[in-house]
């Protein structure tokens, strides 16, 4: 080997060159800033066949600029969602405090499996998890948890604990012939099906409970289903409640579910299922739990104060959960991946724990503190805790209260404006979150009257087909005729979560995660609908 060339290679890629790195980072940052002058991007033309046909890599060693050039076309071709006209889904811009945390993490590149691989970064994870747990459970005694690669994996943890709680030894011996089911809401995220399949329960053994018009799981139907299952000798491993459905921000009655499963399992003398809450979307409303609505230090309007009081009442329900999923990269505006699985009581992690003998690679691990002893992954990035703590402390509780309240305020404004149009119908009028679902029908239609007939099953199949087609066609018409520099990009769902008589209800959708969205943008949405 040519030692001189080897030395040059090491110097280029393994020695720190602050000026070179700073210059390249500055160039990338300039490209992101330049995006602000552009309209939100459509999905850009992608040629996957070309990508497959040209997988070659350079033969000779290059330099850091070559590394930049290798990714820059794709970097430039990726929308950062910083534009305030992006309202189509539960994704917003990442805040810059989170960016600082993420950069700090990448410079050290810790693996959060054991102290040996992460050192004080594991300490930061504990701090971040405890801070979030105190917001969610409201100063619980002994919480714990871990950051994961996404909300689906966090939900998987909750389901896994439920299986072990109900069938002790399942981690070692399997289900041993016992039939188990999981339960979720019909408005819950499709990851519930993923979890049931990957846990081995089977998607067919996931039971979805219908919701009411508020997008909340119906407790009467849950009670009936639990009685039916236990009478038939079938155990319930877990119930995954939802705190903020993805489309309409429905919130389940978590306290009511807790009371119901405790009483029913005791009556049938069966193990109590895990009450897990998927709060990936809605968790951030807990920032308002301590807001003093009487003193009103941030001078919220009377309408925003009422919204705040309503979310404070909803937040109390989270304290009844055994475990919770949060996605900080959603309403927390953090960087991917910053999902977390949090248990109310640290002792519940025993259902996931392995011994050092099971993990010889981590022979010096300590089961009392090293997450590798119970986590699904043995390679876990540290971006989650770095992003979360930088964001929480940088923005501060008061800052978070302003951000969350503003999201609620913007959604409420759009609901009010749309409600004034006879041919429009707000579908999630009673939910208190950052999401709005609604219909736009042709002018001359009475949307409220049609909605009432729809939910009471008084429309023929032909009428339903016509109305569904009209709702979608008007959405597509706006998309084709909109001014991309002026009109917000909206979303569409074929079923927003309420399914009366098993009938899917489509909806237009706007999600207010971008703090730079203005009242004028909201008013323009209504104007663009009137122009249709």
Concatenated DSSP letters of 353-397: ---GGG-GGGTT--TTT-GGGT-S-SS-BSHHHHHHHHHHHHHHH
One domain, residues 493 and 451: yes
Residue 188 lies in a domain: yes
Please say whether the beta carbons of 306 and 328 come within 8 A. Answer: no
Last residue of a domain, one of 365, 381, 400: 400
One domain, residues 395 and 411: no
> What token pair was written down for 412?
């409420």
One domain, residues 383 and 412: no
Please say whether the beta carbons of 245 and 497 come within 8 A. Answer: yes
Residue 251 lies in a domain: yes
At 455-474, the pLDDT tens digits run: 999 999 999 999 999 999 99
One domain, residues 335 and 202: yes
Residue 94 lies in a domain: no
The number of CA neighbours under 13 Å toward the Cβ of 254 is: 27
At 344-371, the pLDDT tens digits run: 999 999 998 877 677 776 666 666 677 8
Contacts of residue 381, Cβ cutoff 8 Å, sequence gap at least 6: 105, 110, 111, 112, 149, 337
Last residue of a domain, one of 376, 400, 424: 400
Last residue of a domain, one of 400, 429, 447: 400
One domain, residues 372 and 490: no
User: Any idea what the CATH number is for the domain that residue 147 is in?
Assistant: 3.40.640.10
So what's the pLDDT on residue 58? 85
One domain, residues 155 and 286: yes
Distance of CA 147 to the CA centre of its chain: 13
Cα four-point dihedral sign 382, 383, 386, 389: negative
One domain, residues 392 and 484: no
Q: How far apart are CA 254 and CA 370, in angstroms?
A: 31
Cα four-point dihedral sign 196, 161, 139, 334: negative
Residue 96 lies in a domain: no
One domain, residues 25 and 120: no
So what's the pLDDT on residue 57? 86
CB atoms inside a 10 Å sphere around CB 415: 19
Residues of the chain with pLDDT under 70: 42-45, 356, 361-368
Please say whether the beta carbons of 67 and 360 come within 8 A. Answer: no
So what's the pLDDT on residue 54? 80
So what's the pLDDT on residue 51? 81
Residue 89 lies in a domain: no
One domain, residues 333 and 214: yes
Residue 97 lies in a domain: no
SS3 of residue 266 by DSSP: helix
Q: How far apart are CA 4 and CA 13, in angstroms?
A: 15
Residue 95 lies in a domain: no
One domain, residues 300 and 267: yes
User: Any idea what the CATH number is for the domain that residue 416 is in?
Assistant: 3.90.1150.10
Domain count, the chain: 3
Q: Give the domain extent around 454.
A: 404-531
One domain, residues 161 and 252: yes
One domain, residues 421 and 454: yes
The answer for 215, left when phi > 0, alpha when psi is -120 to 50, beta otherwise, is left
Give CA torsion, residues 220, 326, 128, 146, to 10 deg: 90
Number of H helices, E strands in the chain: 17, 11
Peptide bond preceding 337 in cis form (omega within 30 of 0): yes
Contacts of residue 28, Cβ cutoff 8 Å, sequence gap at least 6: 68, 72, 75
So what's the pLDDT on residue 44? 62
Q: How far apart are CA 390 and CA 383, in angstroms?
A: 10
Residue 90 lies in a domain: no
Q: How far apart are CA 228 and CA 221, in angstroms?
A: 11
Tracing tokens 């070559």 back to the chain, one arrives at 66
């Amino acid at each position: 080997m040519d030692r001189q060339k080897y030395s040059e290679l090491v110097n280029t890629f393994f020695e720190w060159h602050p000026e070179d790195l700073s210059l390249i980072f500055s160039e990338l940052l300039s490209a992101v800033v330049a995006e602000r002058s552009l309209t939100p991007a459509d999905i850009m033309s992608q040629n996957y066949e070309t990508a497959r046909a040209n997988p070659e890599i350079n033969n000779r060693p290059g330099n850091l600029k070559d590394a930049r050039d290798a990714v820059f076309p794709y970097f430039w071709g990726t929308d950062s969602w910083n534009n305030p006209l992006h309202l189509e889904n539960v994704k917003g811009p990442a805040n810059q405090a989170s960016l600082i945390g993420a950069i700090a993490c990448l410079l050290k590149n810790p693996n959060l499996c054991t102290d040996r691989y992460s050192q004080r970064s594991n300490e930061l994870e504990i701090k971040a998890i405890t801070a979030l747990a105190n917001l969610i459970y409201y100063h619980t005694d002994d919480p714990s948890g871990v950051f994961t690669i996404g909300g689906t994996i966090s939900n998987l943890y909750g389901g896994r604990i439920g299986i072990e709680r109900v069938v002790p030894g399942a981690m070692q011996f399997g289900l041993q012939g016992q039939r188990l089911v999981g339960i979720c809401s019909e408005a819950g995220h499709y990851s519930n099906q993923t979890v049931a399949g990957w846990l081995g329960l089977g998607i067919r053994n996931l039971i979805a409970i219908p919701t009411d018009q508020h997008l909340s799981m119906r407790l009467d139907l849950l009670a009936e289903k639990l009685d039916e299952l236990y009478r038939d000798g079938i155990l319930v491993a877990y119930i995954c409640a939802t705190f903020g459905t993805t489309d309409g921000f429905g919130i389940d009655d978590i306290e009511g579910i807790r009371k119901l499963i405790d009483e029913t399992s005791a009556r049938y003398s069966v193990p109590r299922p895990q009450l897990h809450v998927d709060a990936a979307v809605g968790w951030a409303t807990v920032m308002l739990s301590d807001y003093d609505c009487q003193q009103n230090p941030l001078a919220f309007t009377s309408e925003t104060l009422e919204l705040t009081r309503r979310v404070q009442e909803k937040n109390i329900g989270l304290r009844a959960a055994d475990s919770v999923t949060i996605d900080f990269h959603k309403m927390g505006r953090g960087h991917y991946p910053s999902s977390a699985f949090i248990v109310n009581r640290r002792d519940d992690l025993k259902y996931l724990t392995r011994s050092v003998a099971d993990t010889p690679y981590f022979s010096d691990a300590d089961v009392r503190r090293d997450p590798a002893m119970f986590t699904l992954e043995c390679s876990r990035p540290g971006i989650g805790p770095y992003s979360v703590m930088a964001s929480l402390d940088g923005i501060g509780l008061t800052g978070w209260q302003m951000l969350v309240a503003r999201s609620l305020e913007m959604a409420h404004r759009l609901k009010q404006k749309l409600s004034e149009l006879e041919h429009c119908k707000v579908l999630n009028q009673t939910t208190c979150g950052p999401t709005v679902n609604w219909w736009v029908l042709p002018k001359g239609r009475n949307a409220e009257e049609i909605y009432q007939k729809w939910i009471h099953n008084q429309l023929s199949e032909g009428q339903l087909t016509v109305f569904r087609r009209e709702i979608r066609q008007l959405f597509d018409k706006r998309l084709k005729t909109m001014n991309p520099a002026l009109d917000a990009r909206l979303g569409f769902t074929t079923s927003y979560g309420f399914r009366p008589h098993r009938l899917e209800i489509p909806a237009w959708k706007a999600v207010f995660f971008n703090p730079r969205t203005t009242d004028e943008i909201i008013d323009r949405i209504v104007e663009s609908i009137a122009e249709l």
